[in-house]
Amino acid sequence: MLSAAADPGPARPPVLGPSSLAAAPRPGRAGLRGWLAPGLLHALVLDAAGPGLRHYERAQERPDQGWARLDLVSPDAVGPGALVVASGVLHALVPED
């Protein structure tokens, strides 16, 4: 006997997008040497527990350590955010409702 599949509810956007991850030099490291040394990976991730877009960070030189959950970037995000590093400064573009 076949049973009906449970209704999964409304479709939820993906938690990561094609531009949700960016590498950046560590603060205080300038110029080419700052970019050549292992820096930080930054990610914008939709919170699986509820609405909101969160900032995560991870050091590249320590792959044995996990991601650090940082601040809530936007409680009104409706999709994955995009990250850009310009002149060593991290910028986020967040789609909001």
pLDDT in tens, 54-92: 999 998 887 788 899 999 999 998 888 899 888 778 899
Q: Is the pTM of this model over 0.85?
A: no
Q: What one-character DSSP code corresponds to residue 15?
A: S
Q: What is the pLDDT of residue 73?
A: 92
Torsional sign, CA 43, 46, 48, 50: positive
Instruction: Round to the nearest angstrom and report the end-to-end CA distance of the chain.
Output: 43
42: tokens are: 């930054």
Task: Kindly provide the b/e burial profile for residues 51-85, where b requires at least 16 CB atoms within 10 angstroms of the residue's own CB.
Answer: eebbbbeeeeeeeeeeeeeeeeebeebebbbbbee
